[in-house]
A and B are shown apart, each in its own frame.
Chain A
Amino acid sequence: MSGLLIRTMGVVGLVIAAATPAAAQQPVPAGHIKTVAGAAFVVREHGSTPAKPGDAIFATDTLRTAGDGTLGVTLKDDTRLSLGPNSEVKIDRYVYSPGEGGMGMVLKFVRGVAVYVSGRLAKLAPDSIRLEAPSAIVGVRGTTVAIKVGA
């Protein structure tokens, strides 16, 4: 029994030791979910989770809505992005640390309907922003853009 306890503690210790450097490297959120209606999801490496207002989102996350779903997010630089039903947008790249000199955003509009409202990034580093649709690329200068992908 005590052997098991010691072994368990050892395992916990190892897990903590292994988790600490990983936690230090944890990326900061790219933004947060602010509005959700119907079925909407965040798709990350290990699967998809239902989106809830207040949830953090990260670079490389995909936002997805079902037929009855809509979703709105605000990113760290005040960029806003919203999806209509049956839609999918991937936050392919997101870096916003003006103090350290790193800035850039690539949003991939995969499917459906979405609206983008520019934030601070479009003012500080407009050339670092790319909105990608399957058959065109959009460069922005402080502005609002609506994109519909598919027939």
Chain B
Amino acid sequence: MAADWSVGARGSLTLIALLLTAGCGARRASPATPVAPPAPAMIVLLPDPETRVTGRIHVSNEFGGVDLSAPRSSLNARANAALGPVTILSEDEVNRLFGEALAALPPAPKQFVLQFTFESDTLTDESTALIPAILAAVKALPVPEVVIIGHTDTMGDRKSNLALGLRRAMRVRNILVEAGLPASTLDVTSHGEADPLVKTRDNTPEPRNRRVGITVR
């Protein structure tokens, strides 16, 4: 038994030694580049695929930083060099370089906001009217996820607002299950007071922040 084990262990050690030797051999064969330098990269700022609005990015390396804000602005980053000059790519160049990746982007998530009539379990008429649109958005997707997130205003403390947000989200979950969505596609969570629609100070009543957000994606 013990003999078997030592043979097995020696076998494994031999295998590891061979791999290490192979690695050293390969490295010795090209003494000029003992370690491959980091690969160069091209970084391009694109307009949002749906809204066509262009945001802003900050690119940096050990030599400094560059801000990009123009649509299709691009720069090259190389190892041990300052960031390359900013150029603007044509739409054709963007499609040639990134077309396949752009085509693989999942559809944009759709957002809905449901509100309740004051201090009640009933949705407002406007919110009730949104339910068919939510169901249609879910049906349009091959692998749909529905995320239901409860939100509160900043009245009271963070922890009880997290619980209150979850109660609101559960009410919406039950409404959507009754409307015919399978419970297994529904993810229920709460952001409490941390993710307001309208930013306020702490302990501020704000009806617009007492809501349930639904994301279909």
Contacts and interface: CB of A to CB of B under 8 A. Distances in A.
Contact of A82 (B57, B94, B105, B215): B105
Interface string B135-148: 00000001101010
A72 B105 contact: yes
Given A80-B108, A99-B195, 19 more contacts: A34-B106, A72-B105, A72-B106, A78-B109, A98-B191, A98-B194, A133-B41, A136-B59, A136-B77, A138-B59, A141-B56, A144-B45, A144-B54, A145-B43, A145-B44, A145-B45, A146-B94, A148-B41, A148-B44
Contacts of B46: 115, 144-146
Contacts of B145: 32, 74
A131 B145 CA distance: 26
B181 interface: no
A57 to B, nearest CB: 12
Interface in A122-151: 122, 124, 133-151
Interface stretch (A1-9, A16-24, A106-114): A106-114
What 9 pairs between A and B have smallest CB-CB spacing? A143-B55, A136-B77, A34-B106, A134-B38, A133-B41, A70-B104, A84-B101, A82-B104, A54-B143
B104 A84 contact: yes
Interface in A86-123: 87, 98-101, 109, 111, 113-115, 117-120, 122
The range of chain A's interface size is 35 or more
Contact of B61 (A109, A124, A135): A135
Contacts of A139: 57-60
Contacts, number: 168
A141 B55 CA distance: 6
Contact of A80 (B58, B94, B106, B189): B106
**Main secondary structure on A side of the interface with B:** strand
Contacts of B192: 99
Contacts of A84: 98, 100-101, 104
B109 A109 contact: no
Contact of A135 (B54, B78, B101): B78
Contacts of A149: 39-41
Interface residues on B, range: 35 or more
Nearest to A111: B39
Contact of A83 (B104, B108, B190): B104
Interface in A28-42: 32-35, 37
